[in-house]
Structure 1
């Protein structure tokens, strides 16, 4: 016959390893692996304007050499509402992750009660206090997979914040460049119209002297008016760009009007833009990193759905103490306790749990495709931006030569007209061509800066400074327990 101590040792030898297995658990569902994608070895459009060396993305906008632009970027990062919303999403994701991770730990609740009762003719008090504890053993890793998915969701929210900042910096730079471009084009239109008015006045004097026709006078005045007619559209476009800048910085639309009213030069990049290698986009582009984290999150959710198809075990326990006086609860009281596991096994659910796992797997596939699409889109963005930046610089050089030639032609035509050696039609055509060439040159100069901005955005250049996402937008007060009052709303 086996004695009790031997039985106890045998039971312990079986129970302790079993408990260790229960506590360590196992994992179901696929383990996430970062996908390996086939990427080009180099950019097909790289050249002298875009040398293949590591991209210089840190505060790239400062290389435009405009202090006002630098200040506006700083103000936008601090005040933009989209950034504030992305920060709140980060706080939400972090709190959700903490909430999910809490499911891995035991929960303990305390309870107490007091009653006065009559039994067998005697009246007495009864005080009761106790604790209840429960712990779901994560046998198949469902809770761990949930925590894993929540961690990936937090990382995706961080990348969404960085993507919002990248877009913001690019939008501020683009609208600022556009505003300076409209200012330059308005100044050109006014200057050209003034010159054309002077030509019209000269033509009128020639008409009065009998050396010009009324047709020449009408054509001269009509051309000046046509040039002046461009001003309303340019003024509207300028106002829209400035209003957009104000809103991007978190201000009312008109708050930057006076500040930007003074004309400034169109920012222009001075140095080539290094592009690095296509594989760098996997690290530099926040939208690509976000898509990859979302794919990882979807993969972890398959494990959650798969774990729901397996048995679950919970440990629960309770400790209660009862006494007739409060002071006796810890000494002269009756104590009761209970402890034990509970097992839940899915037996029949009509295929619901299997279908839920298939849903998770299909969702994972969609996020994988979305990640591949994000990578391809990023490659396309860079290739297009490289071509646009290079070709616009070539175009700008030709337009500068064109404007210079038309400027000489206009000066010569006006000089010959004043001396009576040329017809007014030569002056009319020369002035019209000159204005068109100079306006096109200004538009191209804006396009160069805009393509520079687009290229840096495509390469993943955004805000790389510290962004504190921990501060709430709304600070609640008087949130503790208090008497409820009638709503005043």
Structure 2
């Protein structure tokens, strides 16, 4: 018996059945994403490049307080606890047992068979049985079913950790994007207010010329019409401003309007127009949390396939029981009351209606799906970076042209006002020039916002920005409940 048990224990250290996981090829080249792109490592603190202290503070607050990130942190703890549950199968189970049983045998049951053999029959009084002991069981993991299950659980822990990093990266990017859009809207409000003041000056000029008989009432009415049109554009912008302030408040776990005073009016949008280092394409699989999570999911699916294969093999369990048993409680703890049993048991699947076969095919199909999901994550990330680089490059070129247009449009508007004041041009030329200047300034402001948003999108596509946060999963429930 001893040699048999030692042999079984030795077998449990052998390689597990089923496929072994190896990281798949990414298919990403060891070169820049597009020609001319910088190949240095992206800045993990990319939001600081906008040189806006308020933005930097908000990103830090969102990383520490955002509800989605905190929920993802709890899911990491959940996966760790689940891994502990799975790993417990590697150890023996030991249970204590104590009982007192009072039993009366039926005179019409088995004892009735003795009535013809024993004169007067057998009269057995009620029996009290006292027992104290323990029982143990330990599955000998010869085929690696338990080890594959633990391997799958470890991979699921990695999935949850990378999903938390992905949630953190998304929250950081959303915070930066909403902040830049807020500042852009506030700049547009400032541009519109400046043009309202100019429109009021033009109306005053038209009224003065009408009073002197140098212009008709038509000029003044046209001026008033344009002024009211400008004023009508303010409420939609103010609504956008309020919604963006509330969106940022939500991201940092604050009630609506909590950041209104803090996020006062801005005169320009934050920009970080330096060339963005993107690294080489092959580094993307290491940085993007969604790719890392997809690879870990493939690892888990591969290990679950191994579990399904192991289920075809016999299950060998060592069981044992030891205790003290006595009908008299006074003799329960004597050596003569000791009893024990020990030995292996084998369970061999013979017929199960195709359950094991279908389970294996199910796990193999899930493994194939996970492989395709990994490939899709790689390809999507590659497209995201290239699209973001192209969008940023083209928007930079557009922003330069719009800035030139603003200079010329504002100069043309000043010339038109001067010529109207001197009586050498029609008032409609003034209105047209002012309208053109306003449109150019608004487009320039929107372009500045798009530049910032495109930069944020590029950094998010590159997968950076989580390296300095959550370097390891929480090791306890308290760490999960208090991610700060």
- Normalising to structure 2: TM-score of the pair? 0.90
Matched with 1:299 is: 302
Provide the rounded CA distance (Å) in 1 between the counterparts of 2:19 and 2:481: 40
The partner residue of 1:355 within 354, 358, 366 is: 358
Q: Which one is further off, 394-403 or 150-159? A: 394-403
Which residue is 2:58 aligned to? 72
Q: Does 1:55 align with 2:58?
A: no
The range that moved more, 144-153 or 321-330, is 321-330
Whole-angstrom distance in 2 between the partners of 1:38 and 1:79: 37
Q: Deviations over 1:258-294 (max 9, x none)?
A: 2112436311104211011110101010000000100
In structure 1, the partner of 2:108 is none
Deviation per residue, 1:291-315 (Å, 9 max, x gap) = 0100110011101111111111111
Mapped to 2, the partners of 1:269 and 1:231 lie a distance apart of: 28
* 8 Å contact from structure 1 (residues 162, 462) kept in 2: no
Query: How far, CA to CA, are the matches of 1:418 and 1:402 in structure 2?
Result: 24
- In structure 1, distance between residues paired with 2:84 and 2:126: 49
Where does the alignment leave 5 or more consecutive residues of structure 2 unmatched? 106-122
Question: What is the TM-score when the length of structure 1 is the normalising length?
Answer: 0.89
Counterpart secondary structure, 1:134: strand
1:95 maps to 2:81? yes
Task: Select the residue among 394, 398, 402 that pairs with 1:399.
Answer: 402
Q: Answer whether contact 1:112 1:130 (CA < 8 A) is retained.
A: yes
Matched, 1:277 2:280: yes
Contact 1:168 1:248 in 2 (8 A): yes
Asked if 1:346 corresponds to 2:335, the answer is: no
- Which of 219, 243, 247 is matched with 2:246 structurally? 243
8 Å CA contact 2:9–2:140 kept in 1: the answer is no
Residue 265 and residue 333 in structure 1: after superposition, are their counterparts in 2 closer, same or farther (change >3 A)? farther
Residues 103-127 of structure 1, C-alpha deviations (whole Å, 9 max, x = no match): 1111010001235679989899653
The answer to whether the 8 A contact 1:318-1:339 is kept is: yes
1:128-207 superposed matches below 5 A: 128-207=131-210
User: Is the Cα–Cα contact under 8 Å of residues 112 and 129 in structure 1 kept in the other structure?
Assistant: yes
What secondary structure does 2:259 align onto? helix
**Partner Cα separation in structure 2 for residue 219 and residue 123 of structure 1:** 113
Counterpart check, 1:286 vs 2:253: no
Paired with 1:80 and 1:161, the residues of 2 have a C-alpha distance of 12
Matched, 1:112 2:94: no
Deviations 1:186-244 (A, max 9, x none): 01101101111210121122223222223222221111111111111111111111100
Select 1:457's aligned residue among 443, 449, 460. Answer: 460
Among candidates 22, 31, 34, match of residue 33 of structure 1: 22
Match of 2:450 in 1: 447
Q: Give the drift of 1:449.
A: 0.9
Query: Aligned in 2, Cα 1:217/1:307: closer, same or farther, shift over 3 Å?
Result: same
Cα deviation for residue 15 of structure 1 reads 3.1
Q: Match of 1:452, SS? A: helix
**SS of residue matched to 1:463:** coil
Separation (CA, whole Å) in 1 of partners of 2:231 and 2:103: 97
User: In the alignment, what sits opposite 2:231?
Assistant: 228
Aligned length: 461
Query: How far off is 1:316 after superposition?
Result: 0.5
Measured in 2, the distance between the counterparts of 1:163 and 1:229 equals 41
- Quote how far apart the aligned CAs of 1:317 are: 0.6
Which deviates more from structure 2 when the two are superposed, residues 329-338 or residues 433-442?
329-338
C-alpha separation in 2, matches of 1:150 and 1:473: 18
* Separation (CA, whole Å) in 1 of partners of 2:388 and 2:331: 80
Q: Which moved more, 1:343-352 or 1:298-307?
A: 343-352
- Is contact 1:399-1:437 (8 Å) kept? yes
Q: Which residue of 2 aligns with 1:18?
A: 7
Counterpart Cα distance in 2 of 1:426 and 1:435: 14
Cα 1:121/1:152, change in 2 over 3 Å: closer
Contact 2:12–2:143 (CA under 8 A) maintained in structure 1: no
The whole-number CA distance in structure 1 between the counterparts of 2:141 and 2:236 is 66
Aligned-residue offset at 1:435: 0.5
1:128 touches 1:321 (CA, 8 Å); kept in 2? yes
Alpha-carbon RMSD across the aligned residues, in angstroms, is 2.2
CA contact 1:25–1:138 (8 Å) conserved in 2: no
Taking a change above 3 Å as real, the CA distance of residues 214 and 351 of structure 1, as seen in their structure-2 partners, is same
Contact 1:196 1:224 in 2 (8 A): yes
1:417 deviates by 0.9
Tell me whether 1:319 sits opposite 2:322 in the alignment. yes
Provide closer, same or farther for how the CA distance between residues 16 and 353 of structure 1 changes in structure 2, counting only shifts above 3 A. Answer: closer
Q: Distance in 1 between matches of 2:382 and 2:299?
A: 22
Segment of structure 1 superposing worse, 329-338 or 342-351:
329-338
Gaps (5+ residues) in structure 1? Answer: 1-10, 476-489
